[in-house]
Each structure stands twice: as structure tokens, then as C-alpha cells.
Amino acid sequence: MGLREALKSRVLTADGAMGTLLYSYGLDYCHEEMNLVKPELIEKIHSEYIAAGADIIQTNTYGANAIKLARYGLESKVVEINEAAIRIAKNAVNNGDQFVLGSIGAIRGVRKSDTTLEEILDAIRVQAEVLIKGELDGLLLETYYDFEELTETLKLLRTMTDLPIIAQVSMQDPGVLSNGLSLNEAFSELEKLGADLVGVNCKLGPYHTIQAFETVDLPKRAFLTAYPNASLLDIEEGRVIYESEVDYFARAAIELTNQGVRLIGGCCGTTPKHIEAVKKQLANRKPIEQKLAKPAKEVLIRDPEPRNTEPLHEKVKRERSVIVELDTPRHLEVDAFVEGAKALYNNGADLIMMADNSLASPRVSNLAMGAILKQHGIRTMPHITCRDRNLIGLQSHLMGLNALGLHDILAVTGDPTKVGDFPGATSVYDVSSMELISLIKQLNEGISFSGKALRKKANFSVAAAFNPNVRVLDRAVSRLEKKIEHGADYFISQPVYTKEKIVDIYEATKHLEVPIYIGIMPLTSFRSAEFLHHEVPGIKLSDEALERMKSCDGDKVREAEEGLAIAKELLDTATKYFNGIYLITPFLRYEMTSQLMDYIKQLDEEVKGVYVNG
């Protein structure tokens, strides 16, 4: 009898965690490599689950694809590792009544990673070919947080095999995926794409897993599966632990069958003892044929209040717009910063931009300074980096910005901590800048990073960084196009120091509908010019600019004058090709930036005069 037939009349029990047991043996390296290094241990774990009563076991191949194995230098052993896993699992069954599933784990996980979907599918295709050739009883797709990855993987596998396929999602919050899709809607979509069983695994313990299934209808054709964690995880003396009594887990299995689940296993923290208890509870239990699901609780998501300022990406499409950067202080005296911000804003800056601990050195929080400047009627744009905050901190920070009415933000990766004042500090980077842009736009839909409704839509206008100071400009433009796909509203460039580069940027980006602000930063001295050129990532000066600054080295007045002269010459070109100008204020010397703003006004007046007289 095949797996599909067995599930028509029975509730089946699957195995529990593999990684948890390997971890308990002190093996926290590549678990899939154990198929080659310690095959007897993997077979022992399979056998323990079978002895506990598991009707189904899965191969030790969760991460046995080239992308995940590459972390350990094992990408060339995909076939060997998967073949060994199949052999071990079949030896453990040894002609018994158990079904063997080929495990295929998600690659993106909670965060998407930089790996493209095409690369993911190529890796899965190679792994799946081995598993299918191994004549298993089905395939298990597990721990998929990214629904796009799961649906595309399912589509691929359905072109490769008629084997039963189990498609399992993972949720941050009960009943909803990270993209805001309800669990019921997700199951319906997976069933349409050919999944034979649809379900959930990982992240949530029994209580929240049951809660998630309460709003799920019985599928028309597919069956429901659930592989909860033993409990919510805890950390004890640096080790991950799951505290759960096996009887509690087994009683939860009964409730899961009441919700229509026909295949119950365990994920993180579960052991053969959990599965043994589940098997005893489910003995002779028949699956339910009808169910009245609870209606999902609808959460009204309000539209945001109308903004009292026009988004810059709309203004700059039709007229001149100037953004001025003024870094917040490294010390606790903020009066000079506020004074400079007032002067620049009153001189016509559309807003004051504030970096987020630039060069990985701590400064007064740009959120705090943004709130202070707002009290003075000044519009601001804080940067937000991926470096300093995990996903929890990023969402909390963004929610705070929205609550304060600071709706203009620049999403950047952030300089690594090694370049800053605390080289031993941790760089977080839970997400890339592109992923951060997508998540911010998700907040604009009223959906949290975990998929939960936020009751109200945020109202962010999102700028993205552009570094044109690279050898191959086309590659940088390709990154812009990807950022547009992720939701970037406009771009702000690193400072440019040649007229030719400005023209090159225009030619390379004129096909984009998303506007660009060109960065101009006046030089203050030859020493700072050399520092910028040789040490600051993303900034390169021309030989001419360096020579001109060197010619007045040591004379502070002449250096400042020459720095302004170079900047004005760059503005002569930049204002002809771009409406958006981004002025970076060096060392809080806002009077230099103010002079450049006056010069931009002069250039615009001259153009108007020519137009009127022409």
C-alpha cells in the first residue's frame, strides 16, 4: 500500500528531529556529512524512531544540496551524501512497513539570502534527481518560511516525479506566513500546485500549531500534516534546549487530529520518546472526514494619515530637489548640530539626512535627533542600516520612526564593525539592504516582518544607496534594477568627483524611471581628500582633484576655497543632468554646504533667465 492509500483511512505517525539528537551527541557540524562519516549513528537514530512506532522516517538530507553544503566545502559531494542517506534509511527499515521520505529543506530560511531563486532551483534539481532515483515513498519539503521558494520548488518537482510530495511551511506567528498570507490560503495554493500533503513544521510548539490549524479547512484532495517543535526554545549555558513533557506533546497530537491532521511528527527538540508517546495516543485513531473551521479573525488595517509633505521621489521628477546630509555628533553636545540643521533647512534644503553610525562609529541616534529636529519644523531623513539591529530591532526601530512621523528613510547595508571604533563588536546583518527595502514596503501594507497585521499601514518613502565609483558601472546599475524590484522609490549616490563620471551615470541610468540624487561633497583639505580616496569604501577622487588639493596643502583657507571650487564645477555638470542633488556636509562645516546651495540656486536662476529670454 502506498502512502496516499494509507492516509485515506489512517492517522500516521512520523519520526522526530534528527538534528536534535546529533546535537545531543556533540555533533554541531554538518549533520548531512554524518551520512558518510558516521552512517552507523544515523541508522541508529532511524531505528530508534522506528522502534518508537514511527510509520514514516525521513532521510538525513535536509541540507544536502550544493548551496548549503558549500558552507562546509562539501558541495561536490551532493550525490554521494544523498545516496548514502537513502541507503542508511532503507537499511533501518529493513523490509518493514515504514515509509521513507526524501527530505528537502528550504534554502532561504527566515531571511532570503543573496542566492537567487534560479540558483536555488538548480541546487534542488540536482538533489531531487538523486532522491527520486532512490525509489523512496515520497518527498518532504520542510521548513519553508519563504512561500515563493516553496511554490517554485513544488512546481519544479511536479515536473520531475509523480511521487507523493509533502509541502510544509513554517510560520513566525500562528496562522499566517511571513508575507501576510493566511495558512488556509497557503494550503489551498499548494494543493492546486500538486502537493499531496500540506502542513507546517518547526518554529512553533504544540500549542501554537494547534491554534494555527483551528482556522484551516480540510483540503479537497490533499491531507494535512503537522511536525511541531517540542516547545519554544530556550538557551541554557549557551546550549539550545527544548523543555517539553512527552505526555503533553502526545495529548497535543490528539487535538491535532481533531483539527484534521493525518500525519503527525516532530521537529526541533523532539526525540523517540515523544514519538512513542504520540503513537500510543493515536493507536487505532481514525481521521476525521468533516470539520467546521473557525473563521479567521479579521484585522482591519487602516490607511495611514495623509502626509503633509510630498515624497521627494515625486517632487524630483519635475523640479530641482536638494538633500543635505549632516552627521549627528559623536559627543553629547548637540546644539551646534541643531544650529547647522536649521541654517541648511532654512536655506532651502528639502530635508536633512542623518547617517546611522557611519563608518561603524557611534553617534547620537538619528531617530532621537530626527525627533528633536522635527520639533523645530525640520524635515529629516534617517539612514537605517542592517548592521546594528536584528529583525526584531529593525522592525521596532521602523515602527518608532513611523510613530514619530519620520517617513523619509534611506535603507543601507552599513559599514562593517571592523572599520569603526569597536572592531570587536558584532555585525548583525540579518538581512541585506534589498531585503530591508522589501520589508519596509511590507510595513507600508500594514504587515509586520512575521506576517502579522499591524492594524495600520506605515507611510515610508524608501531611498536606496547607489555606488557609481566602481570599475564596471553596468554592474552597479544592475544592482539598482534589483533594488527597484524590491521596492526602492529613488536612489542617493555616493559622492562623485569627476564630470565625466556624472555623464556616464546619466547615460547608464537614463532608462530607469526611478530618480537619482547625485552626491557632491566639498573637500576640506588634502589630508581628508587622501583619506576619502584611499580608505573610505565607495569613494574615489580623480587625480586632478587630488593634485588640486595637494597644491594648497597646509593653507586651510585655500584648501576650503579649492574644495568649494571643485564642488561647484561638479555641480555645473550635475545640475544639467539630474534634478536631484545630494550635498554631504564635511565635519559639520555647514557653511560650505550652504554656499553650494546658494550656487545651485544661482545656476537654476541662470537657466530660467536663458529660458525666458530665449
Sorted by where each begins, the domain ranges of the chain are: 3-283, 312-612
Angle CA 232–238–240, to nearest 5: 30
Nearest 5°: CA angle at 377, between 376 and 381?
Answer: 105
Position 218 pLDDT exceeds 90? yes
Superfamily designation of domain 3-283: Homocysteine-binding-like domain (3.20.20.330)
Position 516 pLDDT exceeds 70: yes
Q: Is the domain defined by 312-612 classed in CATH 3.30.930.10?
A: no
Q: Kindly compute the dihedral angle of the four CA atoms of residues 248, 249, 250, 256, in this order, to the nearest 10 degrees.
A: 110
Q: Which residues contact 400 (CB under 8 A, 6 or more apart)?
A: 367
- Say if 3-283 and 312-612 have the same CATH topology: yes
Identify the CA nearest to 131 among candidates 68, 197, 82.
82
Instruction: State the Cα–Cα distance between residues 465 and 488, nearest whole angstrom.
Output: 9
Confirm whether residue 386 is marked as ligand binding.
no
- For residue 233, pLDDT over 60 is answered with no
Residue 243 pLDDT greater than 50, yes or no: yes
267 marked as binding residue = yes
- C-beta separation of 100 from 106 below 8 A: no
pTM over 0.95: no
Q: How confident is the model at residue 232 (pLDDT cuts 50, 70, 90)?
A: low
- pLDDT higher than 70, residue 244: no
The pLDDT confidence band at residue 241, using thresholds 50, 70 and 90, is very low
SS3 at position 399: helix
pLDDT for residue 236 is more than 50: no
Torsion of CA 5, 8, 13, 14, to 10 degrees: 50
Is 268 marked within a binding site? yes
pLDDT at residue number 26: 77
- Residue 604: closest CA among 322, 326, 408: 322
Comparing 367-371, 441-445, 539-543, 553-557, the range with the smallest average pLDDT is 539-543
Of all residues in the chain, what percent carry a pLDDT higher than 90? 83
Beta bridge partners of 225: 199, 263
How many other CB atoms are there within 10 angstroms of residue 49's CB atom? 29
Task: Provide the 8-state DSSP code for 413.
Answer: -
pLDDT of 112:
59
For residue range 561-585, list pLDDT tens digits in order: 999 999 999 999 999 999 999 999 9
pLDDT at 491 over 90: yes
| Confidence check: pLDDT of 487 > 70 | yes
Whole-number average pLDDT of the chain? 93
For 265-315, the DSSP string reads: ---TT--HHHHHHHHHHHTTPPPPS---PPPPPP---BPPPPPSS--HHHH
Predicted pLDDT of residue 315: 97
- The CA angle 465-471-477, to the nearest 5 degrees, is 40
| Nearest-angstrom CA–CA distance, 576 and 578 | 6
